[in-house]
Amino acid sequence: MLWLKAFHIVFVVSWFAGLFYLPRLFVNLAMVPAESAAERARLLLMSAKLYRFVTPICALAIGTGVMLWLSYGFSGAWLQVKIVLVFGLLGYHLWCGKILREFVADKSTKTHVWFRFFNEVPVLALIVICILVVVKPF
């Protein structure tokens, strides 16, 4: 069971690394001047590779989390809130994929400022999830 827990932590940390960095790439993409085609192409390539890399890690993080839940039989309001936040993060991850497709199609209309705020969502979720898992406040 400790191996499962260790791998879950590795997958969660890796998924969050992607969730922290991909929107940062979106900030940079939103700031690329129209005449900088090479810079835009490089950032799009980096974003696409990161999204493709982190998507299976997302599945592994959620999968190992479900296995831990079923193995330990955790319950309580803290877990319900955590599950809602994980579903929210999954939605955020998928939203990042949609944003990436908009950038590829050159249809993104959001500013770099919007993406800077968007970039903070997983940070806030991580803080709350860590408190819920460690402290179990309710």
17-45: pLDDT as tens digits:
999 999 999 999 999 998 999 999 999 99
Number of domains forming the structure of the chain: 1
| Confidence (pLDDT) at 87 | 98
The domain containing residue 17 runs over which residues? Answer: 2-135
pLDDT 10s digits, 58-108: 999 999 999 999 998 878 899 999 999 999 999 999 999 999 999 999 999
Question: How far is it, in rounded angstroms, from Cα 95 to Cα 17?
Answer: 16
Those residues with Cβ within 8 angstroms of residue 89's Cβ, 6 or more apart along the chain or in another chain: 19, 122, 125
pLDDT for 72: 87
The model's pTM is: 0.95
Rg (CA), the chain: 17
